Structure 1
Amino acid sequence: MIKKYLIERLGWIILFLFLQLFIILVSYFDPTIPLDPIVYIVFLSLIIFTIFLIIRYNKETKFYKSIEAWENNLDLTSISTPESPFEKIIENSVTNQTELLKQIASQNLMSLELEKDELLSWIHEVKTPLTAMRLMIDRLENETMKAHLIYEWLRIHLLLDQQLHQKRIPFIENDLYIENTDLKALIIKEIKDLQSWCIQKGIGFDLHIEVNEVLSDAKWLAFIIRQLLTNAIKYSEASDIIIKSYQKKEQTILEVEDFGRGIDLKDLPRIFDKGFTSTAKHQDNAATGMGLYLAKKVAKPLLINIDVHSKLGIGTTFTLIFPKRNQFLNITGM
């Protein structure tokens, strides 16, 4: 510690000694200045300076000595005891917080599972009176009243179906069954289910199905096509919707083209976002902003890419690009 102290103040010590030596030299060469008194004064100055250094050393190094002693005590404590009481308190606190967060997360997961099961159960319960309602509507003789009621019934049915699939999407991997799917039969069934709505709006369909079979999950593929068809019908007036499938670079392509109001160019990047409807027709209360969002989510595990081209006021074309057959074979081992 003394050595460090002297080294840190070496510049000041050398300066003081140089000044004392300089005073002696001046008195030695100058006959008017008596040498003996000057030497005596320098000697006293050296004694005073030495005493000053000793006093300052004790004052300035006292704090640093206490720090060194504290560090040594810490080192000895860490060697003798693996954990200090403070470290144990922190470790126990972190462990307790982790366990508490795990319990909360587990409880929240159980609550979500219970809520999902209750909602799915409720949807299935509602389907029973809804089916009975459809049978009663079909018996009506007033065709105008019948058409209006079927349209409203269909809207409720589609909303319930969308809600049902939305709750199942997080567990879609457990529900997938990849098989050869009859694409034409699937499309015709979806069109038939939407027939009353199409008749009311004067919308027809023009089918050009060159590729009739795809490797996919029939139930979830039907859900995607249903969302595209309802979207096309909702935003179209009296016109035809063109549906065609063809082969391109070993991939099956399915296109759904309508001649409705189209999509604004600035809205195209956002149409698959959850809850997004439109900036041009923002007051449209019929739009939920969920259909295309859910279709995109379902398409991902099916390895289907959804592309869209649209011009405002002219129409929209949605394109489903199915994966190559070997992509599914590598995943499923079929």
Structure 2
Amino acid sequence: MVGTMVGRAIAGKRASGMKLTLRDYLLDQARLILFWLVGICLLLALFCLYITSRHVNYSLAILLYGAGLGLFPLVLHLGIDYWQRRPFYLAVNARLDGERVLEEALTLDDARTREQRALQDLLHAYYYSYEKELRGLEEQRKFTELFVNRFAHQMKTPLTVIQLLEGELQGEGQPGIAASLQEERNRLDQSINMMLQTARLHEFSLDSRMETVELLALLRGIINEHKTEWIRYRLFPKIECDREEVFVRTDLKWFGFLCDQIVRNALQYGSKTAEGQRVPGSFWLRVRDGEDAVEVQFQDFGIGIPAEDVRYVFQPFYTGRNGRTHSRATGMGLYLVKTAAQRLGHTVELHSVEGEGTTVTLRLAKSGYYEVARNMTTL
């Protein structure tokens, strides 16, 4: 993928007017032409001085004839040299028009001069060195991904044990400690899931399956998964839709993940505080089934996002001003939402006013599902 990107960049630069042409060749030979012309002029000047000293009459036609004879070898040399180099120029230009410039450069077989053959050898040496380095980076990436996946899965067992301990604490009459333990466990579980999903983004095409999903049932399930948090944060979720069922074409797991990330953000920032206490609020989840697309709107009325931070919220690890006041922010949630939505062929928009709340809108187009396959192949 990196090679293709580099190749496209090179091709784009060449396509902007830097292809090899006859004009380029003549510019490269400008010094030779200039020296040759100066030599002819000096020779003609010497001839004129010699003839004048001998008091011999001569005409301009003779001088022009002599200059023409002097230029003939130069023109002949340039014509033969360009004819020899032209096939290589044409081959280079043809490959600059391609998408995989580095790979296609290896197929250059029209080198005629020593300089061209040296350039060909340099391209081969560069490509094989680049390919070796790329293989090493790919192996390192796979090792890191394998380590992250194994670590995340190993952490699932301690989380299950902690959940059992919560039940024991509840039974022993310590609901406060159990609630705090549950909150921390949920945060740890969220972080581990985010780690797994981030690692899986590299293999998105292998870890996704498009299917027909009943949207309202999916959203209700996500809301119910956080019923304890809704009560703790004093938020009241409401789903609004003018239909009983809405079907969309998406990947159930990935779409559920990105909806869950938006809901978790609403739980964290969706309620205002007054003197350190949560103020009761509402969270609206609106579904609109249009002719061209289905829109899912997540709206909270919490602290909102400062205007200077809105444009950066989809950047990885960007936490903004709210992140400095909420130390648990990672800056990865909305980045994963944006990335997963794009690779599913959906769009995501965010509108926020500080102190008034935030609205995130997911748009699932009913046409153009072929875009998903194209998005997957460009990862």
TM-score by length of 1: 0.73
SS in 2 for 1:276: coil
Aligned: 1:267 with 2:296: no
Q: Which of 96, 111, 122 is matched with 2:140 structurally?
A: 111
Residues 309-328 of structure 1 correspond to what in structure 2 (within 5 A)?
309-324=351-366, 326-328=367-369
Indicate whether 1:193 and 2:225 are aligned: yes
Asked if 1:244 corresponds to 2:278, the answer is no
Amino acid at match of 1:228: I
Q: Which runs of 5+ in 1 are unaligned?
A: 18-45, 51-63
Q: Does structure 1 residue 178 correspond to structure 2 residue 210?
A: yes
Amino acid at match of 1:328: Y
Compare 208-217 and 308-317 and name the one that shifted more.
Answer: 208-217
Pick the structure with greater CA Rg.
Answer: 1
Report if aligned partners of 1:150, 1:196 keep a CA contact under 8 Å in 2: no
> Closer, same or farther in 2 for the Cα pair 1:328/1:9, shift >3 Å?
same
Give the letter aligned to residue 307 of structure 1: E
Quick one: distance in 1 between partners of 2:121 and 2:163?
63
Deviation sequence 1:40-82 (CA, Å, 0-9, x none)? xxxxxx36x99xxxxxxxxxxxxx9xxx9xx89x98xx99x96
Tell whether the 8 Å contact from 1:306 to 1:319 is kept in structure 2 after alignment: yes
- 2:304 is paired with a residue whose SS is coil
Cα displacement (A) at 1:330:
8.3
1:169 aligns with 2:205: no
Moved more, 279-288 or 197-206: 279-288
Structure 1 residues 242 and 6: CA distance shift in structure 2, 3 A: closer
Counterparts of residues 58-137 of structure 1 (less than 5 Å): 84=114, 91-137=120-166
Separation of aligned partners in 2, 1:150 and 1:199: 14
Gaps of 5+ in 2: 1-35, 57-69, 86-110, 272-279, 374-379
* Residue 179 to residue 10, structure 1, CA distance change in 2 (3 Å): same
Measured against aligned partners, the alpha-carbon deviations of 1:60-109 in whole angstroms (never above 9, x if no partner) come to xxxx9xxx9xx89x98xx99x9665x876665454334222211211210
1:155 aligns with 2:187: yes
Tell me the CA shift for residue 192 of structure 1.
2.5
Name the amino acid aligned to 2:365: P
More deviation, 270-279/292-301: 270-279
The one-character-per-residue Cα deviations of 1:272-301 (angstroms, maximum 9, x if unpaired) are 111111136534321111100110000012
Contact 2:323 2:329 in 1 (8 A): no
Given the superposition, is the C-alpha separation of residues 252 and 192 from structure 1 closer, same or farther in structure 2, using an over 3 Å criterion? Answer: same
Letter in 2 for 1:160: I
Identify if the C-alpha distance between structure 1 residues 263 and 8 changes in structure 2 by more than 3 Å, giving closer, same or farther: farther
- The amino acid that maps onto 2:345 is L
Which residue identity is paired with 2:188? I
Structure 1, 125-134 or 183-192: larger mean CA deviation? 183-192
How large is the Cα RMSD of the aligned pairs? 3.4
CA distance in 2, matches of 1:148, 1:276: 27
Deviation at 1:158, TM superposition (A): 0.4
Contact 1:220 1:298 (8 Å CA) reproduced: yes
Asked if the contact 1:151/1:196 (under 8 Å) is kept, the reply is no
CA distance in 1, matches of 2:293, 2:153: 37
Identity between Structure 1 and Structure 2 (%): 22
Compare 230-239 and 314-323 and name the one that shifted more.
230-239
**2:336 alignment partner, one of 290, 294, 300:** 294
- State whether residues 147 and 196 of structure 1, in contact with CA within 8 Å, keep that contact through their aligned partners in structure 2: no
Matched with 1:36 is none
Aligned equivalents of 1:300, 1:8: Cα separation in 2: 73
Query: Could you tell me how far apart the structure 2 residues matched to 1:265 and 1:117 are?
Result: 39
The letter of the residue matching 1:4 is: I
In 1, Cα distance between equivalents of 2:371 and 2:149: 33
CA distance in 2, matches of 1:185, 1:210: 14
* CA 1:207–1:94: 2 relative to 1, 3 Å: closer
Q: Aligned pair in 2 of structure 1 residues 6, 155: CA closer, same or farther (>3 Å)?
A: closer
1:214 CA drift (Å): 1.6
